Amino acid sequence: MRVGFIGLGNMGAPMAANLAKAGHDVFGLDAAGATAEGVKQVETIIDAVVDMDCVITMLPNGRIVKEVCEKALEHMVSSTVLIDCSTIDIESARAVHAACASKEILSVDAPVSGGVGGAQAGSLTFMAGGSQDAFDKAKALLEIMGGKIVHCGEGGAGQAAKICNNMILGISMIGVCEAFALGEKLSLDPQKLFDVVSTSSGSCWSVNTYCPAPGVGPQSPADNDYKPGFAAELMLKDLLLSQSAAELVDADTPMGERAAGFYQKFVDNDGTGKDFSAALEFFKSAARGDSNG
């Protein structure tokens, strides 16, 4: 297939490279001039979308996605499917689907989970929203870039699943960091705490797979000075998206709201450029009530 890939950042570049490695003819466009292995560079949106079987976008936010798609749709034909892999707000995702429908172009919102490592390994989880026809057309490409593909429902459902998942992750990581910081202040060996929690009722992904305590559990960013696998500012972005969606449908999400507030404070102080699990460092040095200030 001929694939236009717009947005070759930390996630987009390895995703595009995996498509090229699988034998597809991939044409990449990036506003910052980033490149990807095996991907032919183009200079304009027109070059990235004309005569393509599929156009994939991986962009920072809903505003940019809408702007790019508006320009792209002027030059796309109905045989092309648009796959947006960005993590954006529900309203923007639905607006893109509506714009595509007005041009009779199939579209899928397919945000990802799995981080840069998953993008490089081709093991991402894709949460897809769109019609069955659109999903069926996109699935073969998604399977090259990911290990798990879930069709979550109609347009916008992929974004809904992503922000709900990451709201759980943000909340659970805060709880894990609080507990490990408390354990340390109670003179508890973090390895012993891990041994208990990872096999008890406190077991969760934030402990078992991504433990924020250095030297404990499987290798994680905590063992690499909290260099980001998933940056704190990206967790903040997703938690704010969850609260925007909650406001949209009048849903009560008190823990999600508190988690967003905590990560806002963490990012504004010392968390920018660190993995989101570096919240453990905050709790280790914080006195009681500091996170509420």
Beta-carbon count within 10 A of 234 CB: 19
Please tell me the total number of residues recorded for the chain in this structure: 293
User: What whole-number distance in Å separates Cα of residue 100 and Cα of residue 158?
Assistant: 16
The whole-angstrom distance between residue 93's C-alpha and the CA centroid of its chain comes to: 14
The whole-angstrom distance between residue 55's C-alpha and the CA centroid of its chain comes to: 19
User: What whole-number distance in Å separates Cα of residue 125 and Cα of residue 117?
Assistant: 12
- E strand or H helix at 26: strand 25-29
DSSP 231: B
71 is catalytic: no
The set of long-range contacts for 253-256, using a CB threshold of 8 Å and a minimum separation of 24, is 253/167, 255/171, 256/167, 256/170, 256/171
DSSP string, 110-145: --EESHHHHHHHT-EEEEEES-HHHHHHHHHHHHHH
Q: Is 209 helix (H, G, I), strand (E, B) or coil?
A: coil
Is residue 111 a contact partner of residue 91, using CB atoms and an 8 Å limit? no
Which of the following is catalytic: 66, 162, 237, 274? 162
Q: Which residue has the tokens 């506003």?
A: 31
Residue 287, token pair as written in the block: 């006195």
User: What whole-number distance in Å separates Cα of residue 146 and Cα of residue 167?
Assistant: 21
User: What whole-number distance in Å separates Cα of residue 135 and Cα of residue 125?
Assistant: 15
Indicate which residues carry an active-site annotation.
162
